[in-house]
Amino acid sequence: MRIARTVAELREVLHGDPDVGLVPTMGALHEGHLSLIRRARDAHRVVVVSIFVNPTQFGDTADLDAYPRDEARDLELTRAAGVDVVFAPTAREMYPDGFATTVRVSGPLTASLEGAGRGSAHFDGVATVVAKLLIATAPRAAYFGQKDAQQLLVVRRMVADLRLPVDIVACPTSRDADGLARSSRNVRLSRADRGRARAVPRTLEATTAAVAQGAHDVDDLRARALEVLLAAELEPEYLAFVEPDTLEPVREVVAPTLCALAVAVGDVRLIDNTVLDPGPGFAAPARIEE
């Protein structure tokens, strides 16, 4: 396994190979990342994993400082997973002196949900760093988890708008045995908070079950979901029912609908989502009038 610290080193190692799969990460690797690596390993001659805690997507300096980092362990995991190249640049390499370029995806894809809570600069940081990683690596495909559903939509929009020659592959959310979506931030949960955090996947499971049993009204579904969260003394930052491709709110779940939520458990902010499917025979969802 090769380790590249600069874009020049990365390009020299790859030497223009046309069959590269990229797995972008911020390190603190876990089974969710490894599942993406395995997916890429099965599909490509060369697998690149980037490890870079991107400062421009953190609005809160404390959150950036607290983000877990363990490069030595990450390198052990990537080596064992059969990764060919790890790209682990410094912040100065990614954002050199005088850096003055921002890639911005405008509109509802970045203004709602995470964008509303974390500010537009969050997705500016995401779009900019992903664009830089794609340009540096020139992969045939890049792999992202569905847990960050809004980020996935933003990346796909950016790639389509810039006509970047890369496939963006969405992979299912990886979960622990208790249903909690795997996240590098989970290691910061205390034992008690970990127990409370299980209410997040339970909320999604209860909502999915309600839709399967014939419930479609969003106000009713939201009330049921809140009961599960409040029983664990959790109050969501948002609990949204939206069209999966545009993030436009819906009134009824009469077509596949993204149910997304964010909640703070102790000092750890968790996000999760699921796609609710009422089954065949329904019309397109009614959207809230402006």
44-54 confidence digits (pLDDT tens): 999 999 999 99
Position 288 pLDDT exceeds 70? no
Per domain, the residue ranges of the chain are 2-171, 184-276
Write down the residue that tokens 């993406």 correspond to: 36
Residues contributing to the annotated binding site for beta-alanine: 57
- Per-residue pLDDT at 274: 98
pLDDT in tens, 208-257: 999 999 999 999 999 999 999 999 999 999 999 999 999 999 999 999 99
- Return the CATH number of the domain spanning residue range 2-171: 3.40.50.620
Q: How many whole angstroms from its chain centre is CA 109? A: 14
* Closest of 213, 274, 262, 215 to residue 234, by C-alpha: 262
Residues contributing to the annotated binding site for ATP: 26-33, 145-148, 182-185
The amino acid at 228:
V
Residues contributing to the annotated binding site: 26-33, 57, 145-148, 151, 182-185
pLDDT in tens, 138-166: 999 999 999 999 999 999 999 999 999 99
Share of the chain above pLDDT 90, in %: 90
44 is catalytic: no
Distance CA 44, CA 139 (A): 10
Average pLDDT, the chain: 94
- Return the CATH number of the domain spanning residue range 184-276: 3.30.1300.10
* Catalytic-labelled residue, pool 15, 33, 44, 216: 33
Strands 2-4 and 85-87: parallel
